[in-house]
Amino acid sequence: MEIAALIVAAGRGTRAGADLPKQWRRVAGATVAQHSVAAFRGHPRVTRCLLVIHPDDEALARKIEGVELVHGGATRDASVRAGLEALTGHAPDQVLIHDVARPMVSADVINGVIDALVTSPGAAPALPVTDALWHGADGVVTGTQSREGLFRAQTPQGFHFEPILAAHRAYTGGAADDVEVARMAGLDVAITMGDENNLKITTPGDFARADRLIRDKAKELAMDIRMGNGFDVHAFEDGDHVILCGVRIPHDRALKGHSDADVGMHALTDAIYGALAEGDIGQHFPPSDPQWKGAESHIFLRHAVELVASHGFRLSNADVTLICEHPKIGPHADAMRAELAKIMGLDVDRVSVKATTSERLGFTGRSEGIASLASATLIKD
Ligand code: MG
């Protein structure tokens, strides 16, 4: 399926202030035209992108990568027609005609139009009118208008290519948009879901709003936060110390395990693997492998931390809870935090170790072993 985007940018509109046509003014670090082109170029279903420009804007338009340029005409209709004619060489199946002044068009709005074209020769996004409508003259309300069945039209307006080309060739001019041209030719146009943020930049104030919206969206897209949790249990056996979160604590029992049985560090390591969706400690260090017998658990934690970096993330914080009646954790908690922080390369104020009992209930309550819970948060760098 070939889907072309035809972005109409030939207008000279300077209503939005300044002496440059609004599509060449900068907003959130790029021109309005660049943002509009990026919305379609970045869309996985759009295969080709055409920008219809005024000949005077050629130098500005050449700075935009990945878009074909076509010179438009004196009116919007003429510009769309020029764009459609330019596409006839390798005619697409569908064309999405978009006003350049709507730089915040979302992938969802574009998808809605493309999906509707499966069953309709035309489709366009719109929002129902919710404000009351008046007629007015000389600053006075002269009448009211029902808003029933009224919509605010947006773009892109999508069509099967051949019918809209024929419709434009037959049209004599003066249409507000391509839906009007299509309907004059007898084509049905489905209404798809519009978006309040698919704003058409018209007034000077629209630039400030667009700037804020585009920057917020960029931040949102860049923000990739992952969270994982881990749980582990080790039983007591004979011995004289335990190792918890890398700290050796004298005790009248030891923890049983293939490695050093550091239940806290194991839960934390699993939390990190979990945040990365990278399995668990047993998959990376199989207990059946003799080389991990008696291994110090910082090997496992370091491996998980290295994996964080190789996935392009950084650790933000970690929180470990140890569940046991004895030994008492409180006196050792700060040493544990410091040890974990050192291994993970984190500031100690991003590492928490705390403890609880299970009120003498269950296996931890009967002092048969120690359980640990942990969670870790990763942020995409
Ligand atoms: Mg374990």
* Mean pLDDT score across all residues of the chain: 94
Q: Residue 174 and residue 163: Cα distance in Å, rounded?
A: 19
Cα 79 to averaged position of ligand 1 atoms, centre (Å) = 68
The pLDDT, as a whole number, for residue 14 is 58
pLDDT tens digits, one per residue of 183-211: 999 999 999 999 999 999 988 899 999 99
Per residue in 312-343, is it b (16+ CB within 10 Å) or e — as a string?
A: ebebebbbbbbbbeebebeebbebbbbbbbeb
Cα 282 to averaged position of ligand 1 atoms, centre (Å) = 8
The pLDDT, as a whole number, for residue 278 is 96
Identity (one letter) of the amino acid at 67? V
Cα 233 to averaged position of ligand 1 atoms, centre (Å) = 6
Cα 258 to averaged position of ligand 1 atoms, centre (Å) = 8
DSSP string, 246-267: TEEEE-SEEE--SS---HHHHH
| Closest by Cα among 380, 55, 26, 56 to 220 | 380
Cα 259 to averaged position of ligand 1 atoms, centre (Å) = 8
Same domain, 177 and 314: no
Its pTM stands at 0.63
The pLDDT, as a whole number, for residue 119 is 97
Same domain, 241 and 177: no
Q: Within 10 A of 148 (CB to CB), how many other CB atoms are there?
A: 7
Same domain, 75 and 107: yes
Cα 6 to averaged position of ligand 1 atoms, centre (Å) = 59
Cα-based torsion angle of the residue sequence 17, 125, 117, 122 in order, rounded to the nearest 10 degrees: -70
Same domain, 152 and 282: no
Q: Which of the listed residues 222, 249, 267 is the one where a domain comes to its end? A: 222
Cβ-contact 274, 230 below 8 angstroms:
yes
Residue 359, exposed/middle/buried by CB under 10 A (0-12, 13-18, 19+)? Answer: exposed
The pLDDT, as a whole number, for residue 294 is 82
Cα 278 to averaged position of ligand 1 atoms, centre (Å) = 17
Same domain, 183 and 295: no
Same domain, 249 and 334: yes
Count of domains forming the chain: 2
Q: Residue 234 and residue 369: Cα distance in Å, rounded?
A: 6
Q: Which of the listed residues 206, 222, 238 is the one where a domain comes to its end? A: 222
The pLDDT, as a whole number, for residue 18 is 66
294: left (phi over 0), alpha (psi -120 to 50) or beta: left
| Closest by Cα among 332, 157, 139 to 244 | 332
Same domain, 26 and 130: yes
Cα 320 to averaged position of ligand 1 atoms, centre (Å) = 14
Domain residues for the domain of 337 are 225-380
The pLDDT, as a whole number, for residue 292 is 86
The pLDDT, as a whole number, for residue 16 is 54
Q: Which residue stretches of the chain have pLDDT < 50?
A: none
Reported as half-sphere exposure (CB side, CA atoms, 13 A), residue 20 has a value of: 10
| Closest by Cα among 265, 244, 271 to 255 | 244
Q: Residue 338 and residue 51: Cα distance in Å, rounded?
A: 58
Q: Please report, for the domain that includes residue 252, its CATH number.
A: 3.30.1330.50
Cα 299 to averaged position of ligand 1 atoms, centre (Å) = 13
Same domain, 195 and 274: no
Cα 270 to averaged position of ligand 1 atoms, centre (Å) = 9
Q: Residue 118 and residue 129: Cα distance in Å, rounded?
A: 26
Same domain, 235 and 266: yes
Cα 237 to averaged position of ligand 1 atoms, centre (Å) = 15
The pLDDT, as a whole number, for residue 20 is 85
Cα 250 to averaged position of ligand 1 atoms, centre (Å) = 20
Cα 264 to averaged position of ligand 1 atoms, centre (Å) = 8
Same domain, 194 and 335: no
Q: Please report, for the domain that includes residue 147, its CATH number.
A: 3.90.550.10
Same domain, 67 and 99: yes
Q: Which of the listed residues 169, 192, 222 is the one where a domain comes to its end? A: 222
